[in-house]
Structure formats: structure tokens, C-alpha cells
Structure 1
Amino acid sequence: MSDVSASAGPRADTRPPTIASSGLRSTAVLALGTFAVGTDAFVVAGFLPAMSASLGVSAATAGQSVTVFALSYAVLAPVVSTLAARVPRRLLLVTALLVLAAANLGSALAPTLPVLLATRVLAAAGAAGYTPNAGAVSAALVRPEQRGRALAVVIGGLTVATALGVPLGTLLNQITDWRTVLAAVALLCLLVAAGVRLVMPALPGAPRTPFRQRLAVLRRPAVLGVLPLTTLGMASCYTIYAYSIPALQAAGSPVGWAGLMLFLYGAGAVAGNLYAGYAIDRWGPVPLLTGAYVLMAVVLAAGGALALAGSRLPLVVAAIAFGWGASSWSQTPAQQHRLIAAAPGEAPLVVSLNSSGIYLGIALGTAVGGAAYATGFPAMYATGAAGAVIALLFLVLTARRTATGKA
């Protein structure tokens, strides 16, 4: 059997029956790992006041732990993918989860902010070794016509954690402390590592390839036409994410509905991700992305219009929250599908680059949203909607040139 990257590629299904039959079961286990990664990355935001008090720093300073994790992940994802290219996939995934478990335990025990930040970098290294390879492996374990659903299942774990991370952290903050939660994440990583070792079939790593040759994938038009869209799309939907509660209230959400609105955003994210898996396998990723960016532009523009008019239409805001979540998290499976089709021999590398693009988009969108915050929520919504339109135009201009099969 060829390596995992190649098996993620073109049409012929040459996998042994044992691997093909275990594919969907293994993707469910892999999804638990991406849920652990996402929880680790985002649940801390709900604990920032308590964390700052525990470490003796301001909440803004404690928030650097989230920024350090995101930026470290963005930098380390392609590096880890390249350095670990020859490591058998199951061993790589288990090792990454063990590193993530150790890092979270270190974060839970961190006595000072510098120690916490160091453990967040280590956690990012573990996450960078796990998430992109989990996506590439999931595509390799199923038939080509099931690839979209497999990617959606694995990304679904990250989607659920990302969508519910902040409200979950806020809820848990009333029950327990941040150190206990991070210790629980460490335990979850250990359990998933055991599950991956037991359930996932053995898959070899990639053959030895010079570093320069591996990076040559970045010169392919089909890859260069896809990666920037990941950053554009995530930046657009994350323009208001960090300020989601006051932004939704400005659009007309009642103050007491904050939890409900965040739940609807999360429900939309999960629904959008699951629908994306079905739609990609049936129609291809480009039609799915087109609909996602149109929906994103419409709901963000509607939020800005309501905020500008000072309207109080809570049911409309609820629909906006759901549509915002759905359009945001239907992007990732489609983008991964396009990249794997464009470079099947370098699937782990291009998926890791896509992960870097996601976190760069999150950082960019949050920064742009912060800059727009000073001019008011209508401007913030308008900025996000404009970003969605730009992403749509970029997709239209590049889709035909970058198409490979259905990519």
C-alpha cells in the first residue's frame, strides 16, 4: 500500500479491505482528538478573569495565552508536518496527543504566566502534529466518494469545541477552576491516544523527500489559489467573533439571551459542518463555498443593518447567529478537500498549511474587528460582510484555474 498521502488522492481505491472498512469508525475517534485540541485552544477564554487573578496579572495579559497558542500553531503546523513526514501515521497521532496531554497538565500546574506561556507553545506543537494529520488520515481511510464526510467528521470535533469553547468555559467557571479543566483536557487527550492506538490501522509515513522538494507544492497554482481563501474566509467570520455577545446585543438580541445566541451560533456551526460533508461529496466543494460566502455576507450585512437602525428583532438576530455559525464552519472541510485533490502526494503538508491559514485568519479577523470596534458595531458587521464578498470574488476568480476534478 502507498503512503497515507498518496492514498488520500486520486480515483483508484487500492486500500486493503480492512482499512476501508475501519475508515469511518477511525474518523470518529480522530474527531474526539480534534475536539480536545479545540477545547484546549478556546475554553480558556471563558476563564480569563479567574486565570488572571490566579497568576497575578491582568485579564488582557492572561489572554496572551490564547494568542500565543494560535500563533505558535500557525507557525508550527507546516514545520511539524515536514519534520515528521516519515513517521508512521498512527505513531505520529498518538505521540502528538501525548505531547498535548503533557502540555495541558503543565498548564494546569503552571505557577506563573511565563511557565503557562511555555506550556501553551508546547500544546500548540502537539496540536500542530495532530489536527492536520488527522484530517489527511481520515481522507486516506475512506473511499474518494466518502472523503467529504470523513473530513467533516474530523473537523466536526474542532467545530464543536470552537463554537462552544467560550460559553463552555464561562459555564465551567461557575462550577470549577481553569486548572481542573485543563487537567481534564489532558486526561481526554490520553484517552483519545489510547483509542487511536487501538482502533486506527497502521499506516506508513511518506517516503523520504528533500525539504525543498516538499515545499515545491507551494508553487502549484492549484494550491496557491486555495490557501489564501482559507485566511480570507476565516478573517471575515471572525471579525466579530471576539465581540460576539455585545455585537449581537447591538443588533437587537436581549441581554438575557446571550447564552441562547451563542448556542445557536454553535448549533449553526455544527449543522454547517455536517451539511458541508454531504454537499461536497454530492456537488463538490466550490458550490458549497459559494453558498457559504453568500450566506455569510447576507447575515453579517443584516446584523449591521439592524445595529444601525437600532431595531429590536430578537428572532431575526437568532437566525443571524445560526447562519453566521453555519457559513463560518462549512468552509474548512471544503478547503481541505480542494487541497488534498490538488496535491494528493503532500496531503499532510497542505492540510497543515490550511490549518495555519485558519489560525492566521482568526488572528487577522480579530485584529480587524478590534480596529473597527472604535467606530461602532455597524462598521464591524460591514467589515465582516465586505470580507465575505472579497472571499467570494476570490473564489470565483480562482476556482476554474485551480480545479482538479471537483476541487
Structure 2
Amino acid sequence: MSNVLIDRDAERATAGGLTSTLVLALGTFAVGTDAFIVAGFLPSMARTLHVSVGAAGQSVTVFAVAYAVLAPVLATATARLPRRALLVGALLVLGVANLASALAPDLPLLIASRVLAAAGAAVYTPGAGAVSAALVRPEKRARALAVVVGGLTVATAIGVPLGDLAGHWFGWRTALGLVAALSLVAAVGVCWIMPSLPGGPRVPLRARLALLRRPAVASVLPLTVLGMGASYTVYAYSVPALRGVGVPDGSMVLMLFLYGAGAVAGNLVAGYATDRWGPVRVLSGGYLAMAVSLAALGLVAATGVRSATAAGALVLLWGASTWTQTPPQQHRLIAAAPQEAPLAVSLNASSIYVGIGAGTALGGATLGTGPTVMYALAAGTAALAWVLLYWTTWGTSDESRP
């Protein structure tokens, strides 16, 4: 009888797959707000904790590295758990961790709480992505993935600017407390609406990581690292970087909103475009757009020619190109390993945060050299991602070439 009930739940979920993924997107919105909100109030956090901006920025790096390491480990440990219970539990951990971050009296305790938050995020995001791919027909898979990733991108559009305002008006601790509350609300939503879906078979971590030896997988993941690393070399330090192109503090929230609006649009367009034209063409355009937008911002910083309209347009393109890459990358991985989709998605999620951590570390190391160098390094990394895409797909088929 229980198997019959599970089958009926799965049938109902599949019938309304894209609608069901909106619930999952609420959780990724909470995860995204948590992961990205720090960029908006990093200077004030540094002042409160009596550390440099670069040192405070390492809380982002630690979150990213912990996420990257924990995602495959926790995917193995939690493989057999029912999906709804797993996702709700991950959001509860995220909420508790953000409350601890809000109350942290110093940088070491803040970093410890960020590791706990990374554990919750590392379970939730790939789990939500894999469930969304299973809820829809194959021809709608990229769109379903785009909806779930859309929670992350909406967080950059709405959550991060609102967090910046909350941090400005009430302090960064209150902003993190609001993220904790958002995580709990998302947990209630997932528990209430999501169908009961079973877990999968338990596969040893060594067997899971063997997936990395497949050429089709090994050629995809470095692109995710490079693409996210390019963007986060600047984005983690977006406040000083945008000041370097003439953006006043009073317009910083608007610029963060423009980045996020571009991220939302880029992600959604990428989902539909990937289903229609294939992932490689979408990735090619995204990496080129990212390289151009970051190089142009670097040129503005170097020449001192200021234009608020031009800066806003470039930030919009930067955000769109950053988040154009995730749906096609996930689509490529699931196509390469359809029987191991949850693991493939978790490896991509790890790669996202490896890129975020590496980019944040690179940006922090070059923060003292000025924004021109940061933008130049970011643009060069995006261009390298395009070259690697071109090299790894050239000659495979006409549909696969950039």
C-alpha cells in the first residue's frame, strides 16, 4: 500500500512538475539570499568585527569551500532519506546557522556558523535540482532547472538589495536574522506542498566520485568553476568595485538590483534557449557577454570616464551572463549521466561554490590593487571559460560547437 501511495504522489508531482518546482525555488531563494547577501554589507560587517574587508570576505570563501566539499559527502550520507524530509531538514539547518551568524561576536564564530550554513545549502540546492528534473518530461528539463536556479537569481535581484537596505537601516545582524526567518518559512512551504518522494539507493562515495572520470562530465565541471570564479572575483567585493566605476553609495542598492534583475532574466532565458538551441550555444554567448561586460567595466575604472547609465547597463549584462550558465551546465551533466542525475547536479553545485570561493579569494588578494585589476582578471577568466568550452566541444557535432 505504501508503494502505491508513493507512486500516486510521484504521478501527481510529474503532472504538475513545473508548478511544483516553484515551491523548490522558494528554498533556493533562501539559500541564495544567504549565500549572496554578505556582498551588500561586507564593509559594515568588517567594521563591527574589527577586521579588514578582505578578512571579512573570507567568510564567503569558507562558505563556498565548505559547500564544495560537503555536497558530495552529504549526498552520499543522505541518499536513502525521503526527499521531502531531506529538503525540509536542510532548510532548518540553514535557518539555525543564520541565526548563529547573526549572533556571532567575532570572526571565528561567524566562520564556524557559515560552515554549518554551507552544510544546509549543500544538501538543499542539489537535492532540489535533482527533484525538479525528475518531476518533468525530458523536453522541459532545462526549464524546470531554470525555475529552481531562479530562486538563487531572484535572491540576487531582491534578497541581496533588501539585505543591503536592512543592513544599512538595522545592521547586518538583523539582515542575517531575517534570512534565518526566511529559511524557516521556506521549510514550512516545502513540507506543506511537496509530495512524498522516496530516496535513492545508497552508493559509496568512492563510486559516486568515479563519475568524475567520465570525459563527458570532466569536461563540463571546470567550466562551472571558471564561470562563477570570473563573476565572483568582483561580485564578492561589489561595493568597492562599483565605487571604482563612479557608482555613489546612494546608488549601490540600485546597481545590486540591476545585477540581480539581469541574473533572473539570464537564467530564465537560458532555460528556454537550452531546450530550443542546445546548451553549448547558450554557454558560448553567456561567457562572451560576461567577458565583454567585465572588460568594459574595467575600462571605465581605468579611464575615469563615468556614465551611470552605461554602468547600469554593464552591470545588468554582467548579472545576466553569470547566471546564463547554470541551466545549460546542469542539462549537460544530466544528459551525460542520466542514471546519476542527483550526483551530477551535486557535483555541479560543488563546482559553483568552488568557483565562488576561488573568485572571492582572488578578488580579496587583489582588492588593494584597485578595481581595474579586479575587472581585468575577471574578464580574462570569463574569456578562458569560453576558450575551454570551444576546445572541449569542437568537432563533436554541429549542434555542440559554440
Amino acid aligned to 1:242 = A
Q: Does 1:338 align with 2:332?
A: yes
2:133 is aligned, of 135, 139, 158, to: 139
> Residue deviations 1:111-151, cap 9 Å, x none?
55444333222211111110111111111111111111111
Distance 2:36 2:148 in 1: 17
2:28 is aligned, of 23, 28, 34, to: 34
What are the within-5 Å matches in structure 2 for residues 80-99 of structure 1? 80-99=74-93
Q: CA separation of 1:43/1:87 partners in 2, compared to 1, >3 Å: closer, same or farther?
A: same
Q: Does 1:260 align with 2:254?
A: yes
Q: CA RMSD in A?
A: 2.7
User: What's the % identity of the aligned pairs?
Assistant: 64
2:166 is aligned, of 165, 172, 186, to: 172
Distance 2:299 2:147 in 1: 35
Who is 2:69 aligned against? 75
User: Is the contact made by 2:76 and 2:204 (CA closer than 8 Å) also made in structure 1?
Assistant: no
What are the within-5 Å matches in structure 2 for residues 222-301 of structure 1? 222-251=216-245, 253=247, 256-301=250-295
Who is 2:4 aligned against? none
Who is 2:99 aligned against? 105
User: Is the contact made by 1:230 and 1:335 (CA closer than 8 Å) also made in structure 2?
Assistant: yes
**How many corresponding residue pairs?**
393
What are the within-5 Å matches in structure 2 for residues 296-311 of structure 1? 296-311=290-305
Who is 1:160 aligned against? 154
Q: CA separation of 1:266/1:386 partners in 2, compared to 1, >3 Å: closer, same or farther?
A: same
Who is 1:7 aligned against? none
User: Is the contact made by 1:226 and 1:402 (CA closer than 8 Å) also made in structure 2?
Assistant: no
User: Is the contact made by 2:79 and 2:200 (CA closer than 8 Å) also made in structure 1?
Assistant: yes
Q: Please report how far the alpha carbon of residue 268 of structure 1 lies from its aligned counterpart in structure 2 after TM superposition.
A: 0.9
> Residue deviations 1:69-118, cap 9 Å, x none?
22211211111111111222112111111222222233334455444333
Secondary structure of the residue aligned to 2:168 is coil
Q: CA separation of 1:162/1:318 partners in 2, compared to 1, >3 Å: closer, same or farther?
A: closer
Q: Please report how far the alpha carbon of residue 359 of structure 1 lies from its aligned counterpart in structure 2 after TM superposition.
A: 1.4
Q: CA separation of 1:369/1:46 partners in 2, compared to 1, >3 Å: closer, same or farther?
A: closer
User: Is the contact made by 2:76 and 2:202 (CA closer than 8 Å) also made in structure 1?
Assistant: no
Q: CA separation of 1:206/1:47 partners in 2, compared to 1, >3 Å: closer, same or farther?
A: same
Secondary structure of the residue aligned to 2:237 is helix
Tell me whether 360-369 or 248-257 shows the greater mean CA deviation: 248-257
User: Is the contact made by 1:36 and 1:189 (CA closer than 8 Å) also made in structure 2?
Assistant: yes
Gap runs ≥5 in structure 2 = 1-7
Distance 1:248 1:116 in 2: 26
Distance 2:283 2:58 in 1: 32
Who is 1:11 aligned against? none
TM-score scaled to structure 1, two decimals? Answer: 0.87
Q: Please report how far the alpha carbon of residue 49 of structure 1 lies from its aligned counterpart in structure 2 after TM superposition.
A: 5.4
